[in-house]
């Protein structure tokens, strides 16, 4: 643990950061929450989540992946620096759109979480909402899981379901799932920091 008795949580994002906001606000609003946000890192300099973090008084860092081209290890060697400097106990991926190598993941084994917009193990990877619609599924949702070197794999810590309604577009479904992401991720993080790893199922 860090200098406070709360776990220091670093949040990694690439975009708008609505999941980061849900996580950060759940920690900042609750005095007895077991975690505190110590850092928000983006791999895209213009990510909207950076300003939202700064508004909340959370330290931010940008590690742009583009100068590194296909050299993931070199990118990650830079990415890890602010996380270590911030003394992060736990890392939450929240819309972080880079695939991480096994070497990076192993540095945070057992203390890195991800949220994915599908009911894993279904629909790992991208375009999850369109794929659920194309398959004719009647239910969809989101999952929070521990991060392992395999993409969108690792032990499930929680899932939330939504119905798929007649006429839904991928965008309709994405919005319905996102509402549940914002409920699920803070609930799972709080439990995780308290040592509870039994999956939480929300409906
Ligand atoms: C979320 O749907 C997340 O599950 C996915 O990307 C989206 C990020 O949204 N991987 P935000 O940046 O948290 O608003």
Each domain of the chain, given as residue ranges in start order, spans 1-108, 114-203
**Does the beta carbon of 152 sit less than 6 angstroms from any atom of ligand 1?**
no
Alpha-helix runs per DSSP H in 34-157: 48-55, 72-85, 102-107, 128-134
Which of 181, 183, 185 for a ligand 1 pocket mutation test, highest count of atoms within 8 Å of Cβ? 181
Are 14 and 43 in contact, with CB atoms under 8 Å apart?
yes
Name the nearest CA neighbour of 181 among 198, 165, 157, 159: 159
- CATH architecture designation of domain 114-203: 3-Layer(aba) Sandwich (3.40)
CA–centroid distance, 76 to ligand 1, in Å, is 21
User: Domain 1-108 sits in which CATH superfamily?
Assistant: Formyl transferase, N-terminal domain (3.40.50.170)
Which pTM was predicted?
A: 0.96
Ligand 1: does its nearest atom lie under 6 Å from the Cβ of 17? yes
Mean pLDDT of 176-196: 98
pLDDT over threshold 70, residue 80: yes
Question: Is the Cβ atom of 14 under 6 angstroms away from ligand 1?
Answer: no
Predicted confidence band at 2 (pLDDT cuts at 50, 70, 90)? very low
Residue 4 is predicted with a pLDDT of 64
Alpha carbon distance 98, 95 (integer Å):
9
Distance CA(88)–CA(56), nearest Å, equals 18
Percent of the residues in the chain that have a pLDDT greater than 90, as a whole number = 97
Q: How far is the CA of 19 from the centre of ligand 1 (A)?
A: 6
| 15 Cβ below 6 A of ligand 1 | yes
> pLDDT per residue over 159-180, tens digit each?
999 999 999 999 999 999 999 9
Distance 18 CA to ligand 1 centre (A): 7
């Amino acid at each position: 643990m860090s200098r406070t008795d709360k776990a220091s949580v670093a949040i990694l994002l690439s975009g708008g950061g609505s999941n980061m906001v849900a996580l950060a606000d759940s920690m900042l609003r609750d005095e007895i929450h077991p975690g505190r946000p110590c850092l928000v890192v983006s791999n895209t300099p213009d990510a909207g989540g950076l300003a939202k973090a700064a508004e909340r008084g959370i330290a931010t860092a940008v590690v742009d992946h583009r100068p590194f081209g296909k050299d993931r290890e070199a990118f990650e060697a830079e990415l890890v620096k602010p996380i270590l400097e911030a003394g992060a106990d736990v890392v939450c991926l929240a819309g972080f759109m880079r695939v991480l190598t096994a070497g990076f993941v192993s540095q945070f084994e057992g203390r890195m979480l991800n949220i994915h917009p599908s009911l894993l193990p279904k629909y790992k990877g991208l375009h999850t909402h369109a794929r659920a619609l194309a398959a004719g599924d009647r239910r969809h949702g989101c999952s929070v899981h521990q991060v392992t070197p395999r993409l969108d794999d690792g032990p499930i810590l929680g899932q939330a379901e939504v119905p798929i309604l007649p006429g839904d577009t991928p965008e309709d479904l994405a919005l319905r799932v996102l509402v549940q992401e914002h409920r699920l991720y803070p609930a799972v993080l709080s439990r995780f920091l308290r040592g509870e790893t039994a999956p939480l199922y929300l409906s």
